[in-house]
Amino acid sequence: MEALDHRLNTFLESWLGPKDPRVRGWPLLDNYSPTLAVTLVYLVVVWTGPKYMKGRKAYSCKGVLVLYNAGLTLLSLCMFCQLVCALWSGSYDFYCQNLHSAPEVDKKVMKVLWWYYLSKFIEFMDTFFFILRKNNHQITFLHIYHHTTMLNIWWFVVNWLPCGQSTFGPCLNSFVHVVMYSYYGLSTIPAMRPYLWWKKYITQLQLIQFLLTILQTMCAIMWPCGLPLGWLYFQITYILTLIVFFTNFYIQTYKKKELRNFAFLPVNGHAVHKTKMN
């Protein structure tokens, strides 16, 4: 295994350049194999889990879900606050921020971004809860694509671009996750469900996040500060795929539902509409 890890690291560094020495020795970062192995196990569970649960009774998981969503809400809030403070105290430039302009702030940012990377492991539990509760309709291509790619991409980001420009996206995303996981946590409490009116706005918030991240990445291309252009172009391309998939999800989930609820009824020879109340 060590020989395989060494060959893989040599290949990656010959392709992407040397890793940032400031994160050498950090848990899970020295070798790609743990991240890849967890991803493959995740995909196997996604494939076999629904089959295993097919003839079995669904689990409630209510108590665990409350704790899980509360934990991710607090973790996301903590990361968001720390990143905002770091951006402010380090006078990070919105247009383009290099990796070596504020050493003390950069060190704090790297620690937060490591936790952000670690949170992508934790978020695999979203899928496992869907399987245990037999909510297989929620295990969509978008869901699997988003979870697997985010974990693997962030292994590369934390190794090669562990601060600077990489800070803005996680800052926005952590705020979105505060809203999202607080909603999921509250939705597990039946008494709260009538008051949870903002579900569709979470997707809108995610789309706004993607657009702002693309805008900020384009600024770094137009006003460069020494960042690898290949990474910036990759980031734009990847986020465009998320915009396409999330937009399709929004249309399929909310817009088409609104159209289905809008029924035409004939009255006295005239067509009138009636909106179905939820």
- Quote the CA–CA distance of 120 and 155 in Å, as a whole number: 10
Interstrand relation of 262-267 and 270-275 (parallel, antiparallel or unpaired):
antiparallel
Within 8 A by CB and 6+ apart from 156, the residues are 16
Our answer to whether residue 146 is catalytic in this structure is yes
Contact predicate 31/12, CB 8 Å: no
Which DSSP string corresponds to 144-162?
HHHHHHHHHHHHHHHHH--
Q: How far is CA 24 from CA 28, 86, 205, in A?
A: 10, 22, 35
Report the distance separating Cα 208 and Cα 204, nearest Å. 6
Catalytic, out of 100, 137, 146, 177: 146
Closest CA to 207 of 168, 149, 249: 249
Catalytic (active-site) positions: 146
